[in-house]
Structure 1
């Protein structure tokens, strides 16, 4: 054993205690990887580390990833960890910021990640610093209300006119206090959630919570009677509230973004820069990290510290030259790359560049293999582990437990793993392009998706479903048919294989598209693409394809079909009468008489326009 390895193992044992890692339930391979990465951050070992993380092996990361899908997955997990952490942990959402193309990331204001998304956070904070309307104005208004004697306020109201309604003192105090505190609560929540934490800010809010909860102020003030004997009590209550407000005003030391000379756009620009300079954890696609080159990260007068540690997830998808965008940020001293060379590689279209190793894995070095997967049921992981990882990956205790099993649809065809043979379709090329589609497979996939949706609604259980295809034309065809049917419901996605890198769903349906006598399967022969598609599902993986075409191909798909047959997981579409009907109806709609004649094995149990009364429509 090398001295570096021994050092990592000794450090891993210490880290479990010092860093409180036991709460994360890491296995030995994960602990060793984390320990080595902490050695990097403490400048004890080599400044570059590579972690080999096969699908489902549980690599938790931050900062950069090559695609929007991957960086959103990382961000979701970090936010979840912070939500689950106790208040005493010192972990705050305000110390995390995510940025990138909002439109492509599809992050609306109701999205779970809007709480850490840079543009959303900027909009919220901008409201706090509007001139004559924001936090500072609200604070001053509250102090004025509490300091000026209540009798003077009533006199002012009387002077407004004879029709002015003068409330009893108790009601007036409570209503006015509630009115002012409504904005106070709103701004305070934004500052607590969105403004980067510093020691002064933490102490200020902690002091306020310990001394008096602002939520109780209206009742506290209104409960004090106004007769002579209680004047001292009302004065004491007001002074307590004013003391806390003045403490906040003095100690929070917020930027002067509410100055009148600052336009709305300039204010938002200053807020964005401030957040990027002071946030502890920044997440973004690698291609978007160029933005950070324009942000001053090292200013001793402002107590700014540069970014020192870079962590890149899904690093195998990056060309080495792409990693230079974040690697060249001023201050970066250590880097950790996490990825899987058996999954999708970097996209290199030029054969000359590919032969020159232009798409090689970034900074190839000694790797830490994460050897336990926690995503796929054993029936799903069996083939990829044997075929792509030489059996080096084990199933975690969670996926082998009985509690992990989900029988979503009845019948063996819809068990945890199956190949559904649809041999009646044709692969066709799009009118204006070279991408392929298979309309019969589209019909089969749509029917399965509809059944899943109906079952999910019927049982009242949430279900996430991903439909994967290596051909964009097939993806578009399925999306066009689905339309907006499931827009109101989370959990139904249709993407190309590349678009699913780094994601996982309860159910994955793969449409392989290829259907020809020659056994030609094009780039389906790519092992990394195939591995990626086969390892996205947690509970069920259903492959829809032409078994004959794939069996005749000299590719990994021949092995997939043979493995399914050997394990008793190969099914003909005709074995399910409703699925059979859906395919026949699709053929009739295409007016494909020749193909209909060849499909005599399919069972036509219901005429096209006569639906059975079952929940599962044809």
Structure 2
């Protein structure tokens, strides 16, 4: 089923020609190439700290990125037995690509012989083979045919329903689909997952010189650091260049310490300069990085500065977004609209729950889908209610004419039922719009008109439901600011209210400009383009490239990113400033290849700028560790610059559930009988004796805490009894 023809050649272009496609490059590698540790060894050079120009800067990362990708693929191949796989039900060639269908869950579980089977995703690299591989030798033995494939399509990220069909491109020709063996049975075909290269693709695109040559603001500042000294700028660096009393007043209520205040104010003052800039906030463990970031983002929203907040992982960005959302609800005067705040991420990996669903793009699209629908959404509801107020009686007569059989309701019953239905849907629709669409997209005047019409319709509904007007309801819908035939005050009041509502409805119909679409993709793009505070991973920031509002970039845990990864958000042309928050004394980015490690490929932009003397604003008060623990990192890594907050110096901060020094702030336990051994793959070390000891310590703590809780419960019951 899988041909033995050669793979694609690497179509690497010379300077000035089209930038090569990374997928084509990867599919040109044989498995022998992937396992060859020396494939790029001669091309990877140590990355310098300063660069002559942008083009050479980007070129320094090209070969290391390819080598790191090769090393990660090699690692996956070595661990092939642990990688998920799935049986392909059928495969069909379509215009140089292949459409495949994978087995259903039950079929997959049976064919894979494992509980968790492979569900492909766009960006996956997989191995296609006629055997379910348990080792790389199962694929390469005796010239057995295989193909390396890349998933280009499969499932819509806005679609909640699972899919089994995917489109792939292959490293070579896959012979006739559903080929049969001599016994008449269809030859099996398996897909084994290796890794997802979406992030690599996004970085690779950023290494194209043409991407950045027209966007030199922040990039120029980054590449040519340190800049030529500007005496005037140096003199004003520490000056209080930002003198807004409003910001000072808001900041004073945030309970920040002096170092946190200084870091936030410095960032704000730089934003109000005309030149592009980078700010570094140095945040050792427990010094309140997330709190500082959330306050900065809150102030940016108050000042109406578009901001992109990123972090290396889904977990990290969710933590920042959660703290920011909590701050909004605690401090902001108006929390009825969060349409300008957006959290973006893959719904399978991000696992959003709780309050974060209020700002999560996937949930927001689902909420707005009905509101924007052409046949049932906001415009249809406004038109229907306007038409009902304008032509309610003629609609009723037409209804009677169309009603051939059955009871014929009175005009009062008909009109009240129709109004209640439309009003209920309209109120629900506008509630979603006001919360999930930015005010800037609705416009302030329309926003106020919506609030006004909802209040007016609510009053009209109350009067309509509670006051009996019976047959005189016809006069309400025939009333036209003249003298009514009825002297019933309720009729006159309702008639005037109807006209006011009609006028406001028609105003909104002519002035409100919002999408009319049933496309989730269009709604997703609308939300992304109009948000002014966006949270996402650094990799996912490529999805906000069309947003024209974002001028500030904030990256949390910036020291855990490879420098080339930060290029993904820096592609945004509207960015003028960047704030990097991190700590180069903590663990850096993970690098698989030793060649890349030696070339400083894992070095972060934060670390490089810091090494060149870029000013860092140190958060110098830690709120997490007991002083007996913090003294070691403080003296060893931070030159004694970190102070212990009063909260960690109190006696209550040292909890001891069991007696003995082992259960104090820290302890060292010598396991003399333990021996290290490698796991089944020969990669990771383990010490099973240490595992047993740790398990016993945890069980002792569990028993101690249970005993403490029981004693506390008995004391509480005794106290209440007496």
TM-score by length of 1: 0.61
1:392 CA displacement: 1.5
Match of 2:615 in 1: 366
The answer to whether the 8 A contact 2:589-2:602 is kept is: yes
Q: Distance in 2 between matches of 1:40 and 1:361?
A: 22
Match of 2:555 in 1: 312
Q: Distance in 2 between matches of 1:448 and 1:456?
A: 12
1:25 CA displacement: 2.4
Q: 2:342 is paired with a residue of what secondary structure?
A: strand
TM-score by length of 2: 0.53
1:247 lines up with 2:499 in the alignment: no
Taking a change above 3 Å as real, the CA distance of residues 3 and 186 of structure 1, as seen in their structure-2 partners, is same
1:64 lines up with 2:310 in the alignment: yes
Alignment of 1:104-503 (within 5 A): 104-107=349-352, 110-149=353-392, 153=396, 156=399, 160=403, 163-164=406-407, 166=409, 169=412, 176-198=418-440, 201-209=443-451, 213=455, 214-226=457-469, 227=472, 228-230=486-488, 231-257=491-517, 264=518, 267-293=519-545, 295=546, 297=547, 305=548, 307-362=550-605, 363-364=609-610, 365-376=614-625, 378=627, 381-400=630-649, 417-419=665-667, 421=669, 423=671, 429-437=678-686, 438=688, 439-440=691-692, 443-444=695-696, 447=699
Taking a change above 3 Å as real, the CA distance of residues 434 and 217 of structure 1, as seen in their structure-2 partners, is farther
Taking a change above 3 Å as real, the CA distance of residues 375 and 238 of structure 1, as seen in their structure-2 partners, is farther
Q: Distance in 1 between matches of 2:619 and 2:395?
A: 71
Q: 1:234 is paired with a residue of what secondary structure?
A: helix
More moved, 75-84 vs 385-394: 385-394
1:39 lines up with 2:282 in the alignment: no
Match of 1:11 in 2: 240
The answer to whether the 8 A contact 1:40-1:47 is kept is: yes
Q: 1:43 is paired with a residue of what secondary structure?
A: coil
Match of 1:520 in 2: none
Which structure: larger Rg?
2
Match of 1:87 in 2: 333
After superposition, the C-alpha distances for 1:507-538 in whole angstroms (9 at most, x for unaligned) are: xxxxxxxxxxxxxxxxxxxxxxxxxxxxxxxx
Gaps of 5+ in 2: 1-230, 294-307, 473-485, 714-722
1:367 CA displacement: 0.8
Q: 1:229 is paired with a residue of what secondary structure?
A: coil
After superposition, the C-alpha distances for 1:554-610 in whole angstroms (9 at most, x for unaligned) are: xxxxxxxxxxxxxxxxxxxxxxxxxxxxxxxxxxxxxxxxxxxxxxxxxxxxxxxxx
Say how many residue pairs are matched. Answer: 438
Taking a change above 3 Å as real, the CA distance of residues 6 and 92 of structure 1, as seen in their structure-2 partners, is farther
Q: Distance in 1 between matches of 2:400 and 2:712?
A: 56
Give the superposed CA RMSD: 3.9
Q: 2:252 is paired with a residue of what secondary structure?
A: helix
Q: Distance in 2 between matches of 1:275 and 1:289?
A: 14
Q: Distance in 2 between matches of 1:40 and 1:151?
A: 64
Q: Distance in 1 between matches of 2:349 and 2:234?
A: 42
Taking a change above 3 Å as real, the CA distance of residues 459 and 165 of structure 1, as seen in their structure-2 partners, is farther
1:215 CA displacement: 4.2
1:98 lines up with 2:343 in the alignment: yes
Q: 1:14 is paired with a residue of what secondary structure?
A: coil
1:330 CA displacement: 1.9
